[in-house]
Amino acid sequence: MAQSMTAGRVRVTLAEMLYKYGVDLADLYSALGIDPADADQEALAHLAGIIDGMEAASKAIRDQGLEGWSRRP
């Protein structure tokens, strides 16, 4: 039997899926009928931070190539 995921791991997995399919977090909330004002702000901030990091990494890979993309000049 698979172990349950931590809340943080679930957020990381959800962020990966949203990023992969280009789904905006606000659109997801709207589709689920959730008002972001009522949501856990810490969880939202964590999810947004993960998505921002993925976007930054993708941009660096596009700009600098796969080799050495994570190195800062």
The per-residue pLDDT for range 2-36, each reduced to its tens digit, is 678 888 788 778 878 887 888 887 888 888 888 88
Higher pLDDT, 2 or 52: 52
User: How many other β-carbons are positioned within 10 Å of the β-carbon of residue 15?
Assistant: 20
Mean pLDDT of the chain: 80
- Is residue 45 predicted with pLDDT exceeding 80? yes
- Cα separation, 71 vs 51, in Å, equals 20
Angle, helices 41-64 vs 25-32, to 10°: value is 140
- Cα separation, 63 vs 65, in Å, equals 6
> What is the per-residue pLDDT for 49?
85
- Is residue 52 predicted with pLDDT exceeding 70? yes
Higher pLDDT, 72 or 10: 10
